Structure 1
């Protein structure tokens, strides 16, 4: 199928999926995922592939930028400790837990850690798509966590994949420095692009040119960061958050209305298309696993269980540690019950970043020691992308 045919197909599936989700009162992403999975088993659509570069260069910057623009910086500051604890150490602990599971199945540590980094970050667009009715504070925590933890996971992923390709052990010191450099570089580039955009938008004569700049902004932040070897995700998120704070001061109400409507439609189409394309990958996953489906299924299920268990344990442990260490009155006022934390624990959806990272794995690398439970690098890639 050519590009036009694929675009028409995705548009029709989005339309049908939206109607079905409204009639059945089921979340639209889940319906689109199911429809994509059904299409994947039809021979006519068997050749459709989701290119990693498409997700990394088109979907990801646009989706992250829009979500960061809609995240309140003031709300983030009020919940900064909770957000950072979930966006950095929780990602590292989750990646480590999945890596232990992967190593038990015969994967080398570098490959297992790469798998852990793929499954560790939550997805901002997936969270917002299914968690809309949640309270404002809960939604802010989930959205901000999902925006920041992508950079954490991809920094770990880059270190692990580099070690796996070179067939060497991961150097913790070098890995930590690369991790910090990716974060710091992404923040600096994102802030610099935001300052440049603010200066440019003050000089533009009409709202059409100003909003054209808005369309280009996420890509202007992402590409330089990636070319310099730092986190493009962090650059886009930083840029979006800075502009969300200063935007009302430099953009007229009519221009904001116009660009809001554009991004609302564009991100709906991109996000919906992504769920359909993920569904299309299900058939390919099953074909690649082939006769090794039992260990691949076992690894996938245990990795998913590890991800869920770590998140539940983290969110029901760290609040009590904070309470023991911080007894200030303002901290006590912000305490929530275990029941109120339950939606945050369950809302750990994985999405575009995990998919793009899984698809971007090298075609061949060390498979580790042979064992009854060991699987090759191809099935591990398939189980992670599913």
Structure 2
């Protein structure tokens, strides 16, 4: 294709993204489902070229920012608290699923070498960070489950990629060393942590010296690719490096970034991440035609591969249930024996965790890197796509009802000492103390009476509110509804004055900016 045609195809793809996202919203479907199905339908439209994805390029473009987005907003204290559970899912569950899929593949296809069976297991075993984010942001989970699933999706790709590389090497060379595999995994993880920590620290130092807001935002955008590429270049895990850098940046963002930079960067980042997530799913759908053509057509898939693919999908699903329920049973036994290090999830939470195993871009990209000489390559490609399709379409669309049926409740022991209202009281008291200190001159005269009165009233009202939390929330909502209505009236008047040529563009933009900030504050406070 000509470069201009490629650009036109990209623009058309994003126009399709807008249409499919709107359709998903109207139909009440997860956007990932609409994009995946829509991309698959577009792939077979007459006149559209077959989309051939470069798997390495796909990983380096999409994976770093999406990993960074998850790590940046991860609650580090909760991540550390549940690190054992995250490691169990990100390492233990991936290894177990790989083993189960390898055994099932060997039973179905006895002629397939064990190393190739392990490679297939490594392809389909890690749940995907992109798919998890796309689905989980539409459902509400207790904090512990959300932390476990988000933490798993950030780390497990590293486990799957290491397993895959060693399995492919074993097929090519005919040799395999468990000790070398474990040592390599340790080096990749340790190196990734070191590289990501160093780049995160460099980001902190750099932003402390940059005075230009645009440069600060640009540096914050580029740190994800810098950490991923540096990790891969230094033979460490780019995934772990990106996640580590994201955790460091997320921890220091509150003290490094100014309010203006944070608002502007967050707006830009949200749009970019939204487009990248959408592009991932629609590209997976568009690649369906190429995968089917590569293996000989839909007839070959249905006649020769359907049962094998179905068995592997069942094995993937069973393995996750078996690992999570088995691990929870072991925790229950240890608790009864007196060890209280980690509480078991319970059957309802374990069921939700087991069902939340969507696959996505990493599974497809890794499958596309299979060498042409790999035994069973066609089956692996079809299986990879089928696992993505089934987990996103079936598990993604039913996860919300499963959560509601499970009736999960937030564990009171996981709640912080201060709730939202308590934290607000403490914040307002600190603000009032600072205003009170600065409100008086050295001779005792009052310099800022209205400001002092305003902060005193806010601190007093918040601390002395006697209603229930529900009544308090309603009072806050009513209060800020009036403010939002006032903002809307002010904006309408500004536009009227501008259209009547009574104020110029500069005045309009300056006053409109003030109204925008007031509206953002009101929306945030109301929410």
Q: Same fold (TM over 0.5)?
A: yes
Q: Does 1:71 align with 2:74?
A: yes
The question of whether the paired residues in 1 share the 8 Å contact of 2:200 and 2:245 is answered with yes
Higher relative contact order (CA 8 A, sep 6+): 1
Unmatched 5+ stretches in structure 1: 368-375
Q: Which moved more, 1:97-106 or 1:184-193?
A: 97-106
Q: Does 1:10 align with 2:10?
A: no
Partner of 1:45: 48
Q: Tell me, what secondary structure is at the counterpart of 1:134?
A: coil
> Which digits, 9 at most, give the CA deviation of each residue in 1:117-161, with x for residues without a partner?
111111122112112222233222111111011111111111112
Partner of 1:373: none
Partner of 2:194: 188
Q: Does 1:177 align with 2:183?
A: yes
Partner of 2:328: 319
Q: Tell me, what secondary structure is at the counterpart of 1:61?
A: helix
Partner of 2:494: none
Q: Does 1:21 align with 2:40?
A: no
The question of whether the paired residues in 2 share the 8 Å contact of 1:124 and 1:142 is answered with no
Q: Does 1:377 align with 2:369?
A: no
The alpha-carbon distance between structure 1 residues 175 and 53, as it changes in their structure 2 partners (threshold 3 A), is same
Q: Output the CA distance in 1 between the equivalents of 2:318 and 2:282.
A: 28
The question of whether the paired residues in 1 share the 8 Å contact of 2:98 and 2:121 is answered with yes
Q: Tell me, what secondary structure is at the counterpart of 1:205?
A: coil
- Tell me how far 1:268 sits from its aligned partner: 0.8
Q: Output the CA distance in 2 between the equivalents of 1:8 and 1:155.
A: 35
- Tell me how far 1:340 sits from its aligned partner: 2.3
- Tell me how far 1:72 sits from its aligned partner: 1.0
Q: Output the CA distance in 1 between the equivalents of 2:180 and 2:340.
A: 39
Q: Tell me, what secondary structure is at the counterpart of 1:44?
A: coil
Q: Under a length normalisation based on structure 1, what TM-score does the superposition of the two structures give? A: 0.92
Q: Under a length normalisation based on structure 2, what TM-score does the superposition of the two structures give? A: 0.68
- Tell me how far 1:292 sits from its aligned partner: 4.1
Partner of 1:345: 354
Q: Tell me, what secondary structure is at the counterpart of 1:258?
A: helix
Partner of 1:264: 270
The question of whether the paired residues in 2 share the 8 Å contact of 1:151 and 1:233 is answered with yes
Partner of 2:414: none
Partner of 1:361: 370
Q: Which moved more, 1:51-60 or 1:131-140?
A: 131-140
Q: Output the CA distance in 1 between the equivalents of 2:125 and 2:187.
A: 20
The question of whether the paired residues in 2 share the 8 Å contact of 1:289 and 1:296 is answered with no
Q: Output the CA distance in 1 between the equivalents of 2:213 and 2:383.
A: 46
Q: Does 1:229 align with 2:235?
A: yes
* Within-5 A mapping of 1:181-260: 181-260=187-266
Q: Output the CA distance in 2 between the equivalents of 1:38 and 1:116.
A: 28
Q: Output the CA distance in 2 between the equivalents of 1:298 and 1:89.
A: 28
Q: Output the CA distance in 2 between the equivalents of 1:235 and 1:228.
A: 11
Q: Which moved more, 1:204-213 or 1:281-290?
A: 281-290
- Tell me how far 1:377 sits from its aligned partner: 1.9
2:145 equivalent among 135, 138, 154 = 138
> Which of structures 1 and 2 has the bigger CA Rg?
2
> Which digits, 9 at most, give the CA deviation of each residue in 1:206-250, with x for residues without a partner?
221111111110111111211222211111011111211122121
Q: Output the CA distance in 1 between the equivalents of 2:378 and 2:326.
A: 36
Aligned length: 375
2:167 equivalent among 144, 156, 160 = 160
> Which digits, 9 at most, give the CA deviation of each residue in 1:330-379, with x for residues without a partner?
657x54431122221111011121111111111223x2xxxxxxxx3233
Q: Output the CA distance in 2 between the equivalents of 1:307 and 1:3.
A: 36
Unmatched 5+ stretches in structure 2: 387-527
Q: Output the CA distance in 1 between the equivalents of 2:144 and 2:133.
A: 13
